[in-house]
Structure 1
Amino acid sequence: MKTNTGRFFEDYKLGEVIPHAVPRTLSGGERAAYTSLYPTRFALTSSDEFARVSGLPAAPLDELIAFHTVFGKTVPDISLNAVANLGYAEGRWHLPVYPEDTLRSESEVIGLKQNSNGKSGVVWVRTRGLNQRDELVMDYVRWVMVRKGNLDADAPETVIPELAKTVSADDLVVPAGLDFTNYDFTLAGEAHRWGEYEVGEVIDHVDGVTVEEAEHMMATRLWQNTAKVHFDATNRADGKRLIYGGHVISMARALSFNGLANAQMIVALNGGAHANPCFSGDTIRAWTEVLDKAETSAPGVGAIRLRLVATKGQAGDLRGEDGKYLPEVLLDLDYWALMPL
């Protein structure tokens, strides 16, 4: 058999390292396509001149372009037969990505647990994204519910990895040379600096975007994400194509510009959950809670920990009295970003 039907739960082995196919050379085309899909306006990734004043050689590509590219490489081996992508942890961006960089991915299986129904199981992997010089660009852990192909296959020994609840501020990687001492707040679009944000503050990003089927399909193809639930309407009982979770992440991050225009670079992903499915026709809104703040050794640069929530509902609403996510909540993402002091 020459075609690939994808891995099923019983095909994963603890400790296995899976190299993913098809490296991807990025260009300004990805920047243009990303900007056409999402209303992103962050100055550092938009302007070479703004980036140079900030100590970088040029405008890096958006951090989520790197994430989607690295993630997309893993799909044929990790989540082609997934029921759902369940969460993220311990994510760090180690190097900026620039046009002409080539990214590839590899994943290590670090946890396995068969579900009680015997029809699926959860697979934990740690994925590493590397550039053409074999330098680590980013890494993260994610866990995925994957169907079993053979329901009679023996369940593996259950191993659930212990994961940090957050990336320590001391472990954040600030890009070499980054310097916000000459930061131009007028060009950035807002005057709000690191010292003006308070832990516990909730920011309603006001704007909303209605998701279109065509945009979602374009994004999924752009990142070479081959998961069946995003392409094949017959793959789900309801006959709907599931909107790629990364599309929701990028849309919410772009919407967060209104109120967090100076949160210029994502440097860590502490945790995340796709709380409820998103479908074409849903209108995504976003709000953010400030969770923590830390200083860095880079001149003029502070770190801010943010909870970004994508929702079809109201700002500030997250869980019901039962502790479960409200049905209108689509995404709950915890990340660190860099901001001028």
Structure 2
Amino acid sequence: MPKDKTPRVKTNPGRFFEDYTVGEVIPHAVPRTISGGERALYHALYPARHALYSSDEFARVCGLPASPVDDLMAFHVVFGKSVPDISLNAVANLGYAEARWLRPVYAGDTLRASSEVIGLKQNSSGKTGVVYVRTTGFNQHGLPVMEFKRWVMVRKRDPEAPAPEAVVPDLAPHVAAEDLVIPAGLDFTQYDFGLAGEPHRLSDYEVGEVIDHVDGVTLEEAEHMMATRLWQNTSKTHFDATPRADGKRLIYGGHVISMARALSFNGLANAQMIAGINAGAHANPCFAGDTVRAWSEVLDKAETRAPGVGAIRLRLVATKGGEPFTLKGEDGKYLPHVLLDLDYWALMPV
């Protein structure tokens, strides 16, 4: 300690709402090299069985050099890089938009990320505000692998601090099918439906069709904590139970997304690569002991320029009980049993 007994602050308390400025670009620390062991652990945490992410040989038949890591695993790594700078003092991560996967991520790749602040809006209570960012993940060659926009509710350090001028970005209602990036070489003309696990191709699905994914998984505290640490997500709300009145740790929203996506294999085994997220909302909090189930609705279908490859737009809903296939009440608000409402594009053989 210095002679004047004044402690020198070297630790990072995290940013608060008043620390952000629209237009600033924030490079995130600690690049992460992805290993095959990390992919195996992802498959241990979730019942992930999509063939393209399970077998190098299956991926090679589909025109890729090897099996990529799961798209959501890469998303969690990039998302986790942004947490210390964006959502360390978050109350909740509120939603996603305009997400695109720009190239596959393979074991051995090193990922880093940066975010641009694209909007700020203080809440009426004066205690919190919403921060909008555009986050981009890059590989070791400096090439972007994904980009997404998200908005998060962040605490204010000083509730009396003046509110910034409100800037709310215009967010596209969805990613246009023609703007989806198809991985170089992807070719589903030799796709093996038997090895993939189901016979259903794009033409077998109808817009408006609802699919019950049947299975459920009860979440455990240990698995959630392992996942949160694995992605180096340091948001306090997932680790520290003391700030919440109920004394519970909030389950990381990405854990719910990955669990629901894995459950969707039963009925959507051939919805292989996630190419984009149009919108997403964590509708209600999730805690250890909740049993997650999932259902999907087909929203749209599209052709792509890649041989044998089509795109299917899906609404993936994760629930913790409640009446099946229900989403919102008459007031337009999510029903209490709805955990996740995710609108995304996946690539599927035509």
TM-score (norm 2): 0.97
Matches within 5 A, 1:96-135: 96-135=104-143
Q: Which amino acid letter does the alignment assign opposite residue 260 of structure 1?
A: L
* Match of residue 322, structure 1, among 326, 331, 344: 331
Partner of residue 226, structure 1: 234
Matched, 1:259 2:263: no
| Percent of aligned pairs with the same amino acid | 78
Q: Which amino acid letter does the alignment assign opposite residue 194 of structure 1?
A: L
Q: Which amino acid letter does the alignment assign opposite residue 256 of structure 2?
A: V
Matched, 1:157 2:173: no
| Shift in Å, 1:320 | 1.0
- For the residues of structure 2 that align with 1:303 and 1:111, how far apart are their CA atoms? 31
Q: Give the RMSD, CA atoms, in angstroms.
A: 0.5
- For the residues of structure 2 that align with 1:271 and 1:235, how far apart are their CA atoms? 29
Secondary structure at the aligned position of 2:188 is classed as coil
Partner of residue 6, structure 2: none
- For the residues of structure 1 that align with 2:49 and 2:124, how far apart are their CA atoms? 45
| Shift in Å, 1:315 | 3.3
Matched, 1:91 2:94: no
* Residues 209 and 283 in structure 1, CA contact (< 8 A), matched pair in contact too: yes
Partner of residue 310, structure 2: 302
- For the residues of structure 2 that align with 1:152 and 1:16, how far apart are their CA atoms? 23
Matched, 1:197 2:208: no
Secondary structure at the aligned position of 1:234 is classed as coil
Partner of residue 258, structure 2: 250
Matched, 1:8 2:16: yes
Q: How far does the alpha carbon of each residue in 1:168-201 deviate from its partner, in whole angstroms, 9 at most, with x for none?
A: 0010000000000000000000000000000000
Larger-gyration structure (1/2): 2
Partner of residue 214, structure 2: 206
Partner of residue 277, structure 1: 285
- For the residues of structure 1 that align with 2:234 and 2:92, how far apart are their CA atoms? 14
Partner of residue 178, structure 1: 186
Moved over 2 A (4+): none
Partner of residue 50, structure 1: 58
| Shift in Å, 1:294 | 0.1
* Residues 104 and 130 in structure 1, CA contact (< 8 A), matched pair in contact too: yes
Secondary structure at the aligned position of 1:34 is classed as helix
| Shift in Å, 1:235 | 2.1
Matched, 1:292 2:300: yes
Secondary structure at the aligned position of 2:242 is classed as helix
- For the residues of structure 1 that align with 2:221 and 2:87, how far apart are their CA atoms? 21
Aligned residues: 341
Partner of residue 344, structure 2: 335
* Residues 286 and 315 in structure 1, CA contact (< 8 A), matched pair in contact too: no
- For the residues of structure 2 that align with 1:31 and 1:118, how far apart are their CA atoms? 42
- For the residues of structure 2 that align with 1:174 and 1:222, how far apart are their CA atoms? 28
- For the residues of structure 2 that align with 1:10 and 1:311, how far apart are their CA atoms? 35
